[in-house]
Amino acid sequence: MKNLQILVGILFLGALFTMCTKDEEGPLIDVRADFKPFLESYIQEAESRGVKADFSETGLSIQFRPVEDEESAGVCFLGQFRIEIDRSDWNGMAPPEKEGLIFHELGHCHLDRSHLNTLLPNGEWKSRMRGDPFIDDRPVTVNNSGRRRDYYVDEIFNTNTPVPDWVNITQSYDFINDTQKHVIYEKIPDSISFKERLFLPSGANWEIELEINNFETEEFIGISWGQDNNEKSWRMGYSRENQFIITSGQDQFGTIFFKDDVDELINDEYNELTVRQIDNVCYVFINQNFIYWFDYNRQVIGTFQSIDRGSIDHFRNIRVSELML
């Protein structure tokens, strides 16, 4: 029965996209091509959860906003089933961020949901429906990658979705000791920059550890790992304002983590950054304090390099080790 509902939803979607003018059969359906894949995803996810997503009686319009708006990336005109998206914001988004925006606005228009600025126990947003006014000017970032996406899609259609198990994922820095590390790359002296092509054994777990002077940068200072121009890579580091940021390769998932309050964890000179990949999960530490984890499909070949905007030594005590677990 569930599969039949999904099929009906998809067939309806095909008809929906051919309707661009109001006629005797029903209200106006006018969805710009840029937004169609994300509306299709929304309808499929709704139908798979037993939620009717049929706009034949209400109509639906999703268009770019006529003028740029610095206040919001999108807006739903309640009761009108009309959504406008800011073109500039849209063009700067990764596909999962675009999906999140369309789901958010349909959450208003279709599901009648208001903003929900509640946090999960681990400090991440409880819902994609977060919005103005934000808590203490918290960043709006929602990590829509890996297992997190399933939870956020469930929650948008069911506000009683249980707290996900992944909020309890953490790791102690001391979980790994030096006897379990086999160093495969090392660069001890202070460096302005570095770049190294590394080959890891298939199925290997590994650790990257280095010290970064993040107080002498004009824009951003950090590291990246993964094959060049590959979506399965990541970048992380500090902004000029000492915000700690993690982004995915080719911005496939966009910004997946943004921490604005790292001042209590860092000092005025070099700070140790540790990244461990264990069984397709990356764990991140600053000065041996656990900060965040994210799903990541391991690569055995990758480029490990610095990202810097400056002309002084930023990096030292760089080590990449295979973890012998």
pLDDT in tens, 180-213: 999 999 999 988 889 988 888 778 899 999 999 8
**CA 239/CA 313 separation, integer angstroms:** 17
Q: Which of 115, 141, 166 is the last residue of a domain?
A: 166
Predicted confidence band of residue 2 (pLDDT cuts 50, 70, 90): very low
pLDDT in tens, 4-62: 444 444 444 444 443 333 444 667 889 999 999 999 999 999 999 999 999 988 999 99
Q: What's the confidence (pLDDT) of residue 298?
A: 65
Q: What's the confidence (pLDDT) of residue 52?
A: 94
**Residues 28, 21: contact at Cβ < 8 Å?**
yes
Report how many domains make up the chain.
2
- Find the mean pLDDT for residues 303-317: 81
Q: What's the confidence (pLDDT) of residue 181?
A: 96
The enclosing H or E element of 274 equals strand 270-278
Task: Examine the domain organization and report whether 117 and 244 are in the same domain.
Answer: no
Q: Which domain CATH number covers 304? A: 2.60.120.560
Task: Examine the domain organization and report whether 189 and 147 are in the same domain.
Answer: no
Q: Which residues contact 312 (CB under 8 A, 6 or more apart)?
A: 192, 213, 216
Percentage of residues in the chain having pLDDT higher than 70: 84
Task: Examine the domain organization and report whether 12 and 147 are in the same domain.
Answer: yes
pLDDT in tens, 152-165: 999 999 999 999 99
**Residues 144, 257: contact at Cβ < 8 Å?**
no
